[in-house]
């Protein structure tokens, strides 16, 4: 049985999902995996770890390291690098990366649909290749649509507190309304906090979208944060497939693979709030919280004052669609997220989204997306 050393820099959701995808592949190929988490930005000394664990191969998730590990440290031990740009490691390495251009495209589409005249990109506080790539493509798309573009750069010379203070001053000077694409969800939450401190309305004054769909951040924030859902689990699984190919063909040429994002998970930070009626706001919150627990349209209408007919008319006038359509929309967004787990059967997804049967779920899904549901 081969022993694979899997090295990562954090236990945040993106890293966990990459590790989960790799472990799924490792189980398929019958490997033993030793996972090592090394917090901090400094690259690990891989040679010592390889020798200690007597590893047959190394897979390194470099997403959190400011300086990628030196590939020469692994010697003759096969290695696959996740979230590590070919430019940083050279074309002679095997790398699996998210598709920065497609990620930026999804963010741009989300923000441009909110009728912004200006858009901005906020880099990760420390210099990262993936942040630069996302910014470059985002600027290209924004300018292509005739919008003004602004960027807040990384600064390796200052601490995070000083970076936040500078970011606050920069956001204060942005033209409004403005759409901000944050390098990831951590940065997105910093932007949200600054907007709240500056009494800027989200999304009316500033619309915000991040990357990774880290629910511990996006769902806890108020307003909740929209985010591009990266296919981190697929990146990990693809790393296992590439490593298996290396074992079969030791002389195979290096490959650099990119994985596109899955979707934008839209939340309040980019969703135009057309209604100001507190009853409608409460109804929308009820739907968001209970839609996947079997909530029915009449349950929502009963919570609104007046007859059901008038309540339905009032809801449609405020939101542009019916109560049932809003329930189905929330369920479909949740279904897309759940289908990302390739080990979860469609029948289970249907139940978790509040449908009494799989056929009923399939009918609604097909009507909504124009295709039958399948695990991604």
DSSP 180: E
Residues of the chain with CATH 1.10.10.60: 278-369
> Each residue of 82-129: pLDDT tens digit?
998 755 455 578 999 999 999 999 999 999 998 899 999 999 998 888
- Position 132 pLDDT exceeds 80: yes
d(CA 33, CA 263): 30
Q: What are phi and psi of 177, to 5 degrees?
A: -75, 150
CATH number of 3-98+231-261: 3.40.50.2300
Task: Taking residues 182-197, report their average pLDDT.
Answer: 97
Q: Going by CATH, does the domain composed of 100-230 fall within 3.40.630.40?
A: no
Q: Please state, rounded to an integer, the average pLDDT across all residues of the chain.
A: 89
Q: From residue 145, how far is each of 110, 115, 152 by CA, in Å?
A: 13, 11, 20
Of 167, 175, 226, the closest CA to residue 197 belongs to 167
Architecture of domain 278-369: Orthogonal Bundle (1.10)
Terminal CA-to-CA distance of the chain, rounded, Å? 30
Beta bridge partners of 82: 61, 96
Helix (H) or strand (E) holding 357: none
User: What pLDDT does residue 375 have?
Assistant: 64
Residues of the chain with CATH 3.40.50.2300: 3-98+231-261, 100-230
Q: What is the DSSP annotation of 29-83?
A: HT-EEEEEE--SSSPP-HHHHHHHHT-SEEEEE-TT-SSPPPGGGGTTS-EEEES
- Position 276 pLDDT exceeds 60: no
Q: What percent of the chain has pLDDT over 90?
A: 61
> Each residue of 214-267: pLDDT tens digit?
999 999 999 999 999 999 999 999 999 999 999 999 989 999 999 999 889 889
Q: What are phi and psi of 299, to 5 degrees?
A: -65, -40
Collapsing DSSP to helix, strand or coil, 102 comes out as: helix
User: What pLDDT does residue 147 have?
Assistant: 97
Beta bridge partners of 231: none
Alpha helices, DSSP H only, in the chain? 13-29, 46-53, 86-89, 100-112, 129-144, 160-172, 185-197, 215-218, 232-248, 278-290, 297-303, 308-319, 323-338, 346-352, 358-369
- Position 35 pLDDT exceeds 70: yes
DSSP 8: E
- Position 185 pLDDT exceeds 80: yes
**Global pTM value:** 0.78
Task: Taking residues 195-223, report their average pLDDT.
Answer: 95
- Position 321 pLDDT exceeds 60: yes
Maximum pairwise Cα distance, the chain: 74
């Amino acid at each position: 049985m081969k022993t694979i050393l899997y090295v990562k820099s954090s236990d945040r959701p993106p890293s966990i999902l990459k590790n989960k995808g790799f472990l799924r592949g490792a189980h398929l190929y019958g490997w033993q995996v030793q996972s090592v988490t090394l917090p901090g930005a400094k690259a690990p000394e891989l040679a010592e770890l390889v020798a200690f664990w007597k590893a047959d191969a190394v897979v390194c998730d470099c997403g959190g390291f400011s300086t990628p590990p030196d590939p020469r440290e692994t010697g003759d031990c096969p290695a696959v690098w996740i979230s590590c740009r070919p430019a940083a490691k050279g074309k002679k390495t095997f790398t699996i990366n998210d598709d920065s251009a497609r990620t930026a495209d999804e963010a741009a589409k989300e923000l441009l649909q909110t009728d912004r005249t200006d858009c901005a990109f906020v880099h990760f506080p420390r210099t990262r290749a993936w942040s630069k790539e996302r910014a470059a493509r985002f600027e290209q798309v924004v300018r292509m649509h005739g919008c003004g573009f602004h960027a807040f750069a990384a600064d390796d010379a200052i601490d995070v507190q000083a970076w936040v203070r500078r970011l606050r001053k920069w956001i204060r000077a942005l033209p409004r309304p403005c759409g901000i694409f944050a390098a990831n969800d951590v940065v997105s939450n910093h932007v949200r906090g600054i907007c709240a401190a500056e009494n800027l309305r989200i999304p009316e004054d500033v619309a915000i979208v991040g990357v990774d769909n880290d629910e511990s951040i996006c769902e806890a924030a108020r307003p909740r944060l929209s985010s591009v859902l990266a296919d981190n689990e697929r990146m990990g699984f693809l790393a296992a497939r590439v490593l298996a190919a290396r074992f079969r063909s030791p002389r195979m040429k290096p490959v650099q693979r990119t994985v596109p994002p899955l979707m934008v998970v839209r939340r309040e930070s980019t969703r135009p709030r057309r209604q100001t009626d507190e009853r409608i706001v409460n109804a929308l919150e009820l739907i968001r919280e209970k839609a996947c627990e079997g909530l029915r349209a009449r349950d929502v209408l009963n919570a609104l004052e007046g007859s059901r007919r008038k309540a339905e008319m009032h809801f449609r006038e405020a939101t542009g669609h019916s109560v049932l359509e809003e329930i189905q929309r929330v369920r479909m967004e949740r279904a897309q997220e759940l289908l990302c787990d390739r080990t979860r059967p469609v029948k289970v997804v249907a139940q978790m989204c509040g449908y009494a049967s799989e056929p009923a779920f399939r009918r609604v899904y097909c009507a909504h997306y124009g295709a039958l549901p399948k695990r991604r």
